[in-house]
Amino acid sequence: MLPRRPTTPTTLAALAALPALVALAAGAALASAPTAAHAETWSHRDATGDVVATGGESAPTAAPTNRTADLHRVTITHTRGAVRVVARVHELRRTDQLATVQLRAPGLHLVTADLVRIDGGTAVHTHVETQDEVRECPSATGRFRLRTDTFVVTVPRACLGRPDWVRAAVGYVTIGGSDVGDEQVALDDGLRDGFRLAPRWSPRIHAG
């Protein structure tokens, strides 16, 4: 059974008010066309200062000085055992936050792994969507590493049907904090320089 997600009214309201986050989780169909990459590890250095922020029902606006939500580099490794995503933040802090990793693979519609920290509690929630069903992947793991300013999400290939390749999208959200204010949400797409509603996807990353 997956760990129970801790919640607060402020956190739930902030997440519900963020259209960009909804698009990151549900707008995969708008992503760019696939390209090939014949390697088991793929990295992307994200632009600095491309965070957007929103508060309440306000539209997202640029937040170029925000460093606590600003992703710096994303590395995706596809081994025979798992898909591992490591993302580095400029200044990772102990705040309410959400890291979302999405995966595409042959035979799968979408895999979404959410690494959540709210009110000091951390949990991973993973859903695997196919044409016929939506199932959980309780063996997926993740954690925030304050010492190295990184978060890590690992999804076993057994949950994915052991595909030959995957494509990934990575998003990061912080809620509150000194950079944006207690009621504001800041977001960065780890694979896109700048921000759009649809996530950017990696090339195909083959199993090593």
Residue 65 forms part of a structural domain: yes
Residue 1 within any structural domain of the chain:
no
Residue 2 lies in a domain: no
What is the mean pLDDT of the segment spanning 124-145?
Answer: 95
> What is the rounded average pLDDT of the residues 114-122?
93
| 98 beta partners | 116, 173
Please check the confidence at residue 116 and state whether its pLDDT lies above 80: yes
Q: What's residue 26's pLDDT?
A: 37
pLDDT, position 134: 94
Q: Which domain holds residue 149?
A: 9-206
Section 82-104 average pLDDT: 95
Closest CA relative to residue 184, chosen from 13, 24, 7, 5: 13
pLDDT at 19: 43
Domain tally, the chain: 1
> 75 with 151: CB under 8 angstroms?
no
Please indicate whether residue 163 or residue 24 has the higher confidence score (pLDDT): 163
Q: Is residue 120 part of a domain?
A: yes
Least confident segment among 10-19, 66-75, 166-175: 10-19
Which position has the higher pLDDT, 119 or 137?
137
Residue 71 lies in a domain: yes
Mean pLDDT estimate for the chain = 82
Cα distance between residue 106 and residue 20, in whole Å: 26
Residue with tokens 């088991």: 40
Give which of 112, 109, 55, 54 is closest to 83, Cα–Cα. 112
SS3 state of residue 117: strand
What is the rounded CA–CA span in Å between residue 63 and residue 48? Answer: 11
What are the C-alpha distances in Å from 70 to residues 106, 186, 190?
Answer: 31, 9, 8
